[in-house]
A and B are shown apart, each in its own frame.
Chain A
């Protein structure tokens, strides 16, 4: 079971900044949730409590019936290996090959010594190629990661996450560094794969139109709290104006029209 439960999650960073002020949220298995909100609203922090990259100062995050927040050491690494993550800046190792970047997604699962030596089982290598095929760039396997375009690099990021065979996928502003047409192509891939594999997905976005187009459910955050939770149809312009705290016409950027 891979439904996600946030129970009264609070995060206070060293220095006293309260990024999350008590978040309760229940995400059923297989749902594609988009979180919207201004920079600093707590979106990135919320998503990082799911794999404990940020540890809540209070409350609990559970996947199924297992607490991620309480997990330590090997147990935490096993939980993380079940959670794929993609990033705004892709976070690839630029000097390594695309294939090696994708195989890095298997690191949580292979035996320790094999992992350190980079000796992946044949099945893992074949699966890495398969992941690249699913994101549409099988021919790039042996290219260096930094030789690829932004959209292609993000696809490698998705392939790396897929190589984990995840049941949960986290995407932190996955298209914020891409141009609009590429953004839509990447979002379509992400949605299609999540649907096909039944992956519970949380995506941070700040473009309204994109959120409406791809989300099963939209969660609005403002100032460390959830201020909206509903379907794309429920999320009217008025709702977004409340989330962003300003009229949307004033700043066309947050519409993200292509």
Chain B
């Protein structure tokens, strides 16, 4: 290494010409082009948005709550929460085996792991609302398709998150139990579950939070819960009822979110 002479003032080194510099320009260019094409194709127009503003505000004014609607709201709201909870519970139970089959350190063999991971990838690529829309006509309109939809969604998301946690555990205890002659299930119970227990519980609460929000929406496609009521208010132009419902849902979802966040912060 050459040592520069003292006293010789050296300017900062010239910025090297690197590939990343061009990539950055390329990235900004791509974003601009995609933006332009999307605006063009969707016919997005700020002027129209501006003209609609007045209608929007008038509509918003009609959402003034009418608290006499409350008794109508409680039933479907409770049903919504029940759908979210059942979906979380069933999804967790059905997802548990998939967690371990999809993790390299607890799976049976590589082909089984590949199949489990593929199933999860496909399941995750379908949004919960689409599950509900497909299942509602099959399982009859009502809470049942909602529970089924959220069960599938919970399985896919939870197994993916948890299998990443399983793969990052300390492998030492697994080796020790293998050396002691324990089979796979016993290794999972004794060496894996104690290590991921807190994380897994936290993930389950997190998925429950998502499910509560999703269960409000899936009623719109006939999967039970408060979404049904939203549909009815909208079709009967009962905007004050809708306003009441929105405030109640906002409060309940926010409360559950906060409770869950607090519980999760206590876990880890």
Contact = CB atoms under 8 A, between A and B. Distances in A.
A119 to B, nearest CB: 11
A236 interface: no
Interface in B155-181: 170, 172-173, 175-181
Interface string A87-127: 10111111110001000110111001001111000000000
Contacts of B172: 87, 89-92
B186 A85 contact: no
Contacts of A221: none
Contacts of B182: 77, 104, 107-108, 115
Given A90-B172, A95-B195, A116 B186 contact: yes
Contacts of A117: 189
Contacts of A94: 170, 195
Nearest to B187: A107
Contacts of A185: none
A79 interface: yes
Interface residues of B, number: 20
B185 interface: yes
A5 to B, nearest CB: 20
B181 A93 contact: no
Contact of A91 (B173, B185, B195): B173
B191 A53 contact: no
Contact of A116 (B173, B175, B185): B185
Contacts of B52: none
Given A87-B175, A92-B173, A104-B176, A78 B181 contact: yes
Contact of B180 (A95, A100, A112, A160): A160
B179 A83 contact: yes
B30 to A, nearest CB: 40
Contacts of A116: 185-186, 189
Nearest to B175: A91
B183 interface: yes
A107 B186 contact: yes
Interface string B202-217: 0000000000000000
Contact of B179 (A85, A112, A115): A85
Contact of A53 (B170, B179, B194): B179
Contacts of A83: 179, 181
Nearest to B173: A93
A112 B185 contact: yes
B26 interface: no
B190 A118 contact: yes
A77 B181 contact: yes
Interface string A121-157: 0000000000000000000000000000000000001
A78 B181 CA distance: 6
A90 B176 CA distance: 9
B181 A160 contact: no
Nearest to A114: B186
B177 A104 contact: yes
Interface of B: 170, 172-173, 175-183, 185-186, 189-191, 194-195, 197
